[in-house]
Every structure is written in C-alpha cells, then in structure tokens.
C-alpha cells in the first residue's frame, strides 16, 4: 500500500525557492517522520493515522513522491473500517479525450488563517470539476471550473468513473503569455 503526494509537500527542504522559511535549513529526511492522518469530513477530529516509511521515493523530473505505508494490513483494515476507498488506476492505454469530465480533489486553504496557530481551523476537503485538455509525455492538462488554490496540490485528479488519472503538481501561472493556458492544472500521470 502506497501514498502518492507532491514532493514539495512531503519534502519541502528540497524546494527552497518555493519555501523560504528559515527552519527548513535544519530540517531534512533524517529528522522527520511521515504520517497520513485521516480526519472527519468536516475537518474535525482525527479518525486514524497511518505511519509511513521514512523512505520517500521522488520522481527525478515530476513533482511526485511515493511513500510506503509501514503497516500494510493495518492500513487496509483502517481504510475499509472508516469507509475510505482506495482509488483504482485508470488503464494506461486509455486515451485522454479532450473535454472529458475530470475532478480535482484536495483541500481549501483559507489564506487569512495563520498556519502556525494550533487553534486555527483545518483546511476543508474540496472537489473542483474540470475538463481534460490533453496530455504530453507524463503530464496531463486539465482546465478547472474555478481557480485552484495551494491546498489542491498533491491531490488526485479523477475521471467520471472515479479512477485515478493523475496527481496535481500545480497550475500554469496567470502571467503565462498564452491566455488559454492560464490557470490550467498540470498533473503527473
């Protein structure tokens, strides 16, 4: 059992240009642990936690990390007991069709909330609809129906049958010279 995530989320010290915080100068893989925490749908109390292996595999070119769940059987039992479902992968030979309905799954982060405040509300789960634009190499491009916020990075993109299509790496900036591409989600597939 594995967890897919954005490398910049699970290993921020690898992305010093994106994360300028000084504390990252003293943090690295040798003094961190990875835990997948599952919470009530409204962001409330923790349902369960799964310890992840310290080994994180980073794709050499994509913003993609793979973490192995330390206790496989416990992970499967917990996900089933709490009604969480694992996503099935879309077959690799299934072509992406232009304008095919897609959905981004992630979290809504309130920019006004201080992330260092332990009493601050947690990010809320969010799904944003979109449509496929196409694929190029290991990346797919999906136009969202609304702007994607930071909390959506690392979340899955699914097709209409809830099959995993890709992992959101980020969006094309609004300053991009090609107006049709501005705000488009880019995902590792």
The model's pLDDT over 86-105, given as tens digits with 9 standing for 90+, comes to 778 887 778 888 999 999 99
Other C-beta atoms closer than 10 Å to the C-beta of 108 total 14
pLDDT computed for residue 62 by the predictor = 86
pLDDT computed for residue 133 by the predictor = 92
pLDDT tens profile 47-70: 777 888 878 899 998 888 998 888
> Any idea what DSSP says for residue 183?
T
Instruction: Going from the first residue of the chain to its last (189 residues), give the mean pLDDT of each consecutive group of 10, the final group possibly shorter.
Output: 85 85 86 79 68 86 87 76 74 84 88 74 85 88 90 90 91 87 84
pLDDT computed for residue 123 by the predictor = 76
What are the φ and ψ backbone dihedral angles of 142, each rounded to 5 degrees? -130, 130
Other C-beta atoms closer than 10 Å to the C-beta of 66 total 16
Place of tokens 């496989």: 72
Place of tokens 């919470």: 39
The span from the first CA to the last CA of the chain, in angstroms, equals 18
> Any idea what DSSP says for residue 30?
G
pLDDT computed for residue 82 by the predictor = 66
CB-based contact 181:172 (threshold 8 Å): yes
CB-based contact 9:18 (threshold 8 Å): no
């Amino acid at each position: 059992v594995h967890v897919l995530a954005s490398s910049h989320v699970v290993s921020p010290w690898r992305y010093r240009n994106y994360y300028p915080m000084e504390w990252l100068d003293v943090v690295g893989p040798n003094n961190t642990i990875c835990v997948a925490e599952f919470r009530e749908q409204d962001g409330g109390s923790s349902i369960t936690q799964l310890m992840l292996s310290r080994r994180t595999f980073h794709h050499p070119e994509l913003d993609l990390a793979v973490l192995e769940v330390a206790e496989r059987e416990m992970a499967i039992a917990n996900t089933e007991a709490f009604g969480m479902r694992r996503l099935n992968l879309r077959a690799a030979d299934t072509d992406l069709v232009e304008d095919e309905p897609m959905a981004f799954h992630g979290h809504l982060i309130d920019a006004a909330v201080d992330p260092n405040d332990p009493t601050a509300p947690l990010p809320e789960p969010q799904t944003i609809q979109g449509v496929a634009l196409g694929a190029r190499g290991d990346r797919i491009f999906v136009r969202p129906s609304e702007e994607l916020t930071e909390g959506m990075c690392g979340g899955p993109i699914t097709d209409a049958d809830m099959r995993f299509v890709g992992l959101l790496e980020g969006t094309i900036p609004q300053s991009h010279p090609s107006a049709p591409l501005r705000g488009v989600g880019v995902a590792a597939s």
